[in-house]
Amino acid sequence: MPLNVIMLGPPGAGKGTQAGRLAREYGVPKISTGDSLREEVTRGTELGRLAKATMDAGHLVPDDVMVALVRDRLLRPDTASGFVLDGFPRTVPQAMELDTLIQERNHGGLLALQVIVPLDELFRRLYIRRICGLCGSDAAPGTLDDAVCSKCGGEFIHRTDDNEDVVRERLRVFEAQTEPLVAYYANSSPTSTFFKINGNQPLDTVTAQIRAAVEQTQRAAGQGADGTQRVALGRQDVTS
């Protein structure tokens, strides 16, 4: 049964870090729509030019553009065993399109993880966050000022959309457009299981709670007598 995971939560909640850990552990690709857009910006493509101003303002790239990007990515063969999506969906229309994409491909259920972190902690994290200026990898929390990226040797820089005004706008957009996804996944999505995770804990504790959610979901989605796979539906809290 494929492991299809989406990470919900505001900027700075640690979704990208946890998505990377989960993807490595279960051998599925991490698909970050923010990273994909930043790559397009670096390569100077038409999509990159279109997205840059939107991203720098803290707004959302249009749904049809994002859905097309994710649809193409999910068609690649490396998603056969599943995926961890980071940063998509961000609106209810995107979530509905994702449900359709998964159903079209008979690709199992979806595990939605909502990572919760208080506002003051989000601001603190976003002000100190750095990424590699060459490959875009996140610097691990606590990385020294003069350290370079272990993947490509690039220097770490602040993201252009991590400054105070843009962070405020991104959090406003999150509340208005992405927060409603929690209700969608908790109540209306036809294929999903929903867990809340307390993201304001040490990294390894958060990872362990995410792993527990994955394992619980996998146990609940056993083989039916006719060989078909059952999808666990429900809502669970594993916060502490």
Return residues touching ligand AMP (CB under 6 A): 11, 33-34, 37, 54-55, 58-61, 66, 87-88, 90, 94, 161, 170
| Residue 129 a catalytic site member | yes
HSE, side-chain direction, 13 A CA sphere, residue 131: 18
| Residue 130 a catalytic site member | no
Nearer to ligand AMP, 129 or 196 (CB): 129
The residue annotated as part of the active site, out of 21, 90, 130, 196, is: 90
DSSP state of 188: I
The residue annotated as part of the active site, out of 38, 129, 130, 196, is: 129
Kindly state the tokens that stand for 191. 């294929």
Least distance (Å) from ligand AMP to the CB of residue 234?
A: 25
Nearer to ligand AMP, 149 or 221 (CB): 149
| Residue 73 a catalytic site member | no
| Dihedral over Cα of 117, 179, 133, 124: its sign | negative
| Dihedral over Cα of 171, 177, 183, 187: its sign | negative
The residue annotated as part of the active site, out of 15, 21, 30, 38, is: 15
DSSP H helical ranges for 174-202: 180-183
Nearer to ligand AMP, 156 or 221 (CB): 156
Residue ranges with strand state E in the chain: 3-8, 30-32, 82-86, 110-116, 131-132, 156-157, 192-198, 234-237
Nearer to ligand AMP, 10 or 109 (CB): 10
Least distance (Å) from ligand AMP to the CB of residue 105?
A: 19
| Residue 170 a catalytic site member | yes
- Residues annotated as part of the active site: 15, 90, 129, 159, 170
